């Protein structure tokens, strides 16, 4: 089963995320860590600027972030939210393993 991880964010950090990495840095960090943990998995990593979504799914999650329903960076795995604000690797690893089950 293929896995797609989308990290949503914006150039400007959210007010509560001043001391955290940017959404792009979060995407790069997640890609490096997850690729090391799951070297044999085919996982696609995508960054979505919430001001310029490219698909209906990206538009839906971007609107929810802009309406303060979610914090960014928002991490979505195959359409399911698996982290937001300061995402936890262990939670994302578990979600990937559940996709394999």
Q: What is the DSSP string of 61-98?
A: HHHHHHTTSS-SSEEEETTEEEEESS--HHHHHHHHHH
Whole-prediction pTM value? 0.91
At residue 18, the pLDDT reads 63
Q: Decide yes or no: CATH 3.40.50.300 for domain 3-100.
A: no
At residue 99, the pLDDT reads 87
At residue 67, the pLDDT reads 94
Segments of the chain with pLDDT less than 70: 12-19, 101
At residue 35, the pLDDT reads 95
User: CA 84 to CA 74: how far, in whole Å?
Assistant: 4
Q: Within its chain, how far is the Cα of 89 from the centroid?
A: 11
Question: pLDDT (tens digit, 9 = 90+) per residue, 33-54?
Answer: 999 999 999 999 999 999 999 9
Quick one: tokens of 77?
A: 């795995």
> Residue 75: how many CA atoms within 13 Å on its side-chain side?
29
At residue 85, the pLDDT reads 86
């Amino acid at each position: 089963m293929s896995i797609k991880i989308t990290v949503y964010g914006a150039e400007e950090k959210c007010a509560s995320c001043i001391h955290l990495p940017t959404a792009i840095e979060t995407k790069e960090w997640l890609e490096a860590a997850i690729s090391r943990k799951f070297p044999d998995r085919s996982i696609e990593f995508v960054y979505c600027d919430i001001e310029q979504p490219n698909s209906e799914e990206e538009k839906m999650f971007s609107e929810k972030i802009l309406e303060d329903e979610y914090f960014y960076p928002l991490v979505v795995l195959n359409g399911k939210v698996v982290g937001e604000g300061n995402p936890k690797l262990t939670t994302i690893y578990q979600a990937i393993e559940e996709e394999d089950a």
